[in-house]
């Protein structure tokens, strides 16, 4: 799983109007915050595809006159981080630039309408592009129809509905969490071998660290066992996420772990069997472990300073004084 590019639904600027300039500014700042959250959470890369420059965008208002992004950028009272983010955001114009769409895909974009929310909803070109690719559509939250993370899209030809589809979509920060779960589930469903796990583990588990030894260890376990291990890592990842958010001294574990017995750790051979490399290269002893199955374990280290779990081992049950192998 890799970060998605985002395509801007420019129709959300004009298909409806907001009450006044204050509401327009609030909507736009929510939109910028959503893009920033998508990038921060590694759900998207800092690229926005659009038909026009975002800095030239305007939002229609009911009080007469449009609210302009260009004026907002020149306002010294705006949040500096928001302004900085927008100015550094890469914009690709037009939307299709570099996507490598096939002739059939380009023909579909020309021949069909892509109606948002209902069969007679606004025609949104960005939805058509998203259906041809893995792009996420982002809208300015000017209307309730944009308040969803899965936007119903009606593909129409000459006012007739050809089929209905669903497009990944964001307009509020709450949608980011919902999409994150969807992306993870899709990635879990797509993992069919250890190569894909090795490639995607940092995206699947952004709050965990991994020993460089893990990649060779997982070569020896079955896919069912790996999937069971991944289910455990989901709970570990959630624990670290909440731990960092709370800034507490110790985590509230969402999983069961066990230490090794004193006799096992006093045995130099068994201690050595639990020694693996840290991400920085030095060796450490990974005593704590989680149960995967009767025959398999995950071993990890907890760092109270950085609030991190580092996984050092995934594989067969390591030898102990009770089970020396």
pLDDT of residue 185: 79
127 & 273 share domain: no
DSSP 25-46: HHHHHHHHHHHHHHHHTTSEEE
265 & 211 share domain: yes
Q: Per-residue pLDDT averaged across 5-25, rounded?
A: 92
Provide the CB-side half-sphere exposure for 198 (13 A, CA).
Answer: 12
Q: Per-residue pLDDT averaged across 66-82, rounded?
A: 90
Query: Is residue 112 a part of any domain in this protein?
Result: yes
203 & 310 share domain: yes
User: What is the rounded CA–CA span in Å between residue 125 and residue 155?
Assistant: 11
- Contact indicator for 149, 175 with CB cutoff of 8 Å: yes
308 phi/psi in degrees, rounded to 5: -140, 145
Question: pLDDT by residue (tens digit) across 169-218?
Answer: 999 999 999 998 888 778 777 777 899 899 889 888 889 999 999 999 99
Tokens 């020694």 label which residue?
Answer: 275
100 & 214 share domain: no
71 & 110 share domain: yes
Query: Is residue 185 a part of any domain in this protein?
Result: no
* CA distance readout (Å), 176 to 37, 183, 214: 7, 10, 30
235 & 125 share domain: no
* Statement: residue 14 has pLDDT above 60: yes
CA 291 to chain centre: 27
Question: pLDDT by residue (tens digit) across 277-314?
Answer: 999 999 999 999 999 998 999 999 999 999 999 999 99
24 & 168 share domain: yes
**How much is the mean pLDDT over the chain?**
92
204 & 132 share domain: no
Q: By residue range, what is the domain housing residue 203?
A: 194-316
Q: Per-residue pLDDT averaged across 253-268, rounded?
A: 94
Query: Is residue 323 a part of any domain in this protein?
Result: no
- Contact indicator for 127, 153 with CB cutoff of 8 Å: yes
Map residue 116 onto helix, strand or coil.
strand
pLDDT of residue 280: 95
Q: How confident is the model at residue 1 (pLDDT cuts 50, 70, 90)?
A: very low
Query: Is residue 186 a part of any domain in this protein?
Result: no
Q: Looking at 175, 209, 243, which one is the last position of a domain?
A: 175
223 & 156 share domain: no
132 & 214 share domain: no
Q: Looking at 175, 202, 223, which one is the last position of a domain?
A: 175
User: What is the rounded CA–CA span in Å between residue 115 and residue 243?
Assistant: 42
Question: pLDDT by residue (tens digit) across 109-156?
Answer: 999 999 999 999 999 999 999 998 889 999 999 999 999 999 999 999
Map residue 48 onto helix, strand or coil.
strand
- Residue 304 φ/ψ region, left for φ over 0, alpha for ψ in the -120 to 50 degree band, beta for the rest: alpha
Sign of CA dihedral 245, 249, 250, 252: negative
Beta bridge mates, 166? 152
* Statement: residue 272 has pLDDT above 90: yes
125 & 199 share domain: no
As for how many domains the chain has, the answer is 2
* Statement: residue 249 has pLDDT above 60: yes
* CA distance readout (Å), 82 to 13, 85, 181, 186, 193: 19, 5, 26, 31, 41
User: What is the rounded CA–CA span in Å between residue 84 and residue 219?
Assistant: 44
């Amino acid at each position: 799983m890799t970060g998605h590019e985002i395509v801007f639904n420019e129709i959300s600027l004009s298909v409806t109007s907001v009450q006044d300039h204050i509401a327009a500014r609030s909507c736009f700042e929510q939109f910028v915050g959503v893009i920033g959250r998508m990038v921060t959470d590694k759900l998207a890369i800092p690229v926005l595809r659009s038909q026009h420059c975002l800095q030239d965008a305007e939002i229609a208002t009911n009080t007469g006159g449009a609210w302009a992004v260009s004026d907002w950028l020149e306002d010294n009272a705006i949040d500096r981080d928001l302004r900085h983010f927008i100015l550094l955001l890469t914009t690709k114009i037009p939307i299709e630039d570099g996507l490598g769409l096939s002739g059939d895909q380009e023909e579909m974009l020309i021949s069909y309408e892509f109606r948002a929310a209902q069969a007679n909803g606004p025609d949104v070109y960005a939805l058509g592009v998203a259906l041809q690719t893995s792009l996420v559509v982002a809208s300015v939250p000017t209307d309730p129809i944009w308040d969803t993370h899965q936007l119903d899209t009606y593909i129409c030809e000459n006012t007739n509905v050809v089929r209905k589809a669903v497009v990944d979509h964001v307009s509020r920060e709450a949608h980011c969490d919902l999409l994150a779960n969807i992306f993870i589930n899709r990635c879990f469903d797509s993992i069919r071998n250890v190569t894909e796990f090795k490639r995607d583990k940092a995206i699947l588990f952004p709050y965990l660290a991994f020993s460089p030894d893990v990649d060779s260890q997982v070569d020896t376990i079955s896919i069912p066992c790996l999937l069971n291990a991944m289910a455990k890592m989901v709970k570990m990842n959630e624990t670290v996420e909440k731990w960092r958010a709370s800034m507490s001294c110790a985590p509230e574990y969402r999983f069961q772990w066990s230490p090794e017995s004193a006799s096992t750790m006093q045995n130099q051979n068994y201690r050595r069997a639990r020694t693996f490399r840290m991400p920085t290269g030095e060796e450490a002893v990974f005593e704590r472990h989680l149960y995967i199955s009767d025959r398999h374990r995950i071993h990890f280290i907890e760092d109270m300073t950085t609030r991190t779990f580092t996984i050092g081992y995934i594989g067969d049950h390591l030898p102990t004084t009770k089970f020396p192998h």
